[in-house]
Structure formats: C-alpha cells, structure tokens
C-alpha cells in the first residue's frame, strides 16, 4: 500500500472565530466567504488540500449559536452533524474573547467523542499582547483533557499554520489513496460558488444595514467554453432592505454586481455576464421550502 494519509477534518466553533479564514489559508484558495460579520458561513463547505503524501478534506461549518429561526436551526444542526464520521475535529476559539456558553456547549459535545482526534486552536493570536495570550492559553488549559493537542495560531500572520497541518496529518489513517482528484480544491458545485460570491459582495457592501436576512438564488446558469451567463436573485425580508441594497440611483447594486463579476471571472477564468434582481420574500428564514431551494438542504450533509 502507498503510504498516503487521507481523511476528513471538521472545523467547528461559535460564529466569527476565524474558521473560514483558516480554511482559505490552508487550502491557498478562497473556498469559504469571509466577512467580519458573525454567521457568514451557512453550509458545510469542503476544502481539499492534496500533497504527495496526504489529502486533507476540511469541513468549514456554520458558527454554533443560539437559534432564533429555521435557518439558525439548520446551521446549528449542520455544524453538529459535521462532527460525526470525521477523523479529526478542529475546535477554534479566539484569543481576544472570553469563553462563552456556546464554547461550553461545543466542549460538552466534544467530551463525548472518544473515537476521534480533537485539536483546540486558539486563533487570532496576532490581535492580543503576549501577556493576554498567555492568560488565554492558561484559561483554556482547564479543558486540556478533552483535546489531543492545543495549538495557538494566526491565519493572517501565518503563525503555526504549518504546525497545525502537520499535527492533523499525524492523526490521519494511512488509506493508501486520495478521496478526490489531486487537482480538486472543493466538492461544491459551480452554482453554490456563484451564490456565495454574490452573498459575500452583498454582506460587504450593505454593512450592518442588511446583516443576515439576505439569501441568493441562482435562477439561470449557462456555461460555454468562453463565457458564463448568470441570472440571480438577491432575496431580502423587507422592502426597506431592498432599497438599501439597490442604493441611491442604483449605485450599491452596481457595485455589488461589479465585485461579484470580477470574482466569478477570476474563479472560472471566463467572461461573465451577470444579471442581478432584488426581491422581497417576507420571513424567508422560517420557510423550510425556501431554505431548501436556496441550497441549505438538511439532508445534503
């Protein structure tokens, strides 16, 4: 058997602890959208890192948080399910925040899992002083019995990322094969990638005005050898939010369209024709059928 190690790694934690940033850093490509807003990730996104001696398949999960509606419950359920049938769980906790109730909830779940390897990653080490970092590490050492390894990291400053990868590889079984083709970096379909790019552009452009009552539907998608044609809808819950996204004289929606086209063109390396429409769907986050239509299917993972 070839001495190839391969396996699945779930990245979990409460919202906005740096899970997507870490995944993108490890893979070397933008797999998961990143904003400074909590609950950006809504699906379990697989990112794949392949080297000669190993293949790591990462699952970047939604942040586990107090659920207020159907989409929140989907996100929590999706994140919790990701900890099943994986080889390693990476639990992320930021160095600049206190240990909260959502952290304790995840720790309790992890303490029940004796059949998988668990790594605590104290993230965002670059944003606190060495003294505060030492105090945070000491605080987390209270829970060291739950984990097989504790690593302090910073994705932006590339602190201990290689050490984290090396540790994960050490925990994986020798399978003798890859699960995915060597050039694969994700198993998500094109439609999903396009949807996430547009959603990120909306979140970045709309700021705090339209936080997470936004979803994207890709209504039409045609791809040829040279170009890709897309018609998509931006779904909001209130008419006031529609006005915010369109902006004065359509400036904001034009900016969203420009930024989205640019990223889609870079991803697919093709010319992009993109049409965007903003539609109001009241209370969509509590509509199970609409949530499924938007790709957040509880049976998918």
Separate counts of helices (H) and strands (E) for the chain: 9, 9
* CATH topology for the 190-294 domain: GMP Synthetase; Chain A, domain 3 (3.30.300)
DSSP state of 48: E
* 60-64, 101-105, 145-149, range with greatest mean pLDDT: 145-149
CA distance 298 to 80: 12
* Domain ranges for the chain: 5-171, 190-294
Known binding-site residues for GTP equal 13-20, 60-64, 123-126
Pairing of strands 149-152, 117-123: parallel
Known binding-site residues equal 13-20, 60-64, 123-126
Residue 214 in tokens = 């936004």
Q: The pTM is what? A: 0.64
pLDDT of res. 72: 47
Contact status, residue 217 vs residue 232, Cβ threshold 8 Å:
yes
Tens-place pLDDT, residues 67-112: 454 444 544 455 455 566 789 999 999 999 889 888 888 888 888 8
3-state secondary structure of 184: coil
Tens-place pLDDT, residues 223-234: 888 899 999 998
DSSP state of 186: B
Residue 259 in tokens = 């930024």
Report the CATH number of the 5-171 domain: 3.40.50.300
Contact status, residue 82 vs residue 12, Cβ threshold 8 Å:
yes
pLDDT of res. 289: 61
CA distance 228 to 273: 6
Range 157-164 average pLDDT? 94
């Amino acid at each position: 058997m070839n001495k190839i190690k391969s396996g699945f790694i779930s990245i979990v934690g409460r919202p906005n602890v740096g899970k997507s940033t870490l995944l993108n850093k490890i893979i070397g490509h933008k797999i998961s959208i990143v904003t400074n807003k909590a609950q950006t990730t809504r699906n379990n996104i697989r990112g794949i890192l392949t080297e000669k001696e190993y293949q790591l398949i990462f699952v970047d999960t939604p942040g586990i948080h107090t659920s207020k509606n159907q989409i929140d419950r989907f996100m929590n359920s999706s994140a919790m399910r990701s900890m099943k049938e994986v080889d390693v769980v990476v639990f992320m906790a930021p160095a600049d925040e206190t240990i909260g109730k959502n952290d304790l909830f995840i720790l309790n779940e992890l303490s029940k899992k004796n059949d998988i390897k668990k790594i605590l990653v104290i993230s965002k080490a670059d944003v606190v002083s060495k003294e505060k970092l030492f105090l945070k590490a000491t605080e987390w050492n209270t829970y060291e019995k739950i984990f097989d390894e504790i690593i302090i990291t910073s994705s932006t400053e590339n602190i201990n990322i290689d050490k984290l990868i090396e540790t994960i590889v050490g925990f994986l079984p020798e399978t003798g094969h890859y699960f995915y083709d060597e050039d694969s970096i994700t198993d998500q379909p094109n439609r999903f990638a396009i949807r996430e790019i547009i959603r990120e552009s909306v979140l970045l452009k709309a700021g705090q005005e339209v936080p997470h009552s936004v979803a994207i539907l890709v209504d039409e998608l045609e791809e040829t050898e040279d170009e890709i044609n897309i018609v998509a809808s931006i779904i909001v819950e209130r008419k006031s939010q529609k006005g915010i996204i369109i902006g004065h004289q359509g400036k904001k929606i034009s900016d969203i369209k420009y930024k989205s086209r640019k990223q889609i063109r870079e991803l697919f390396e093709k010319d992009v024709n993109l049409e965007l429409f903003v539609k109001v769907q009241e209370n969509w986050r509590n509509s199970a059928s609409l949530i499924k239509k938007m790709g957040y299917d509880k049976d998918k993972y």
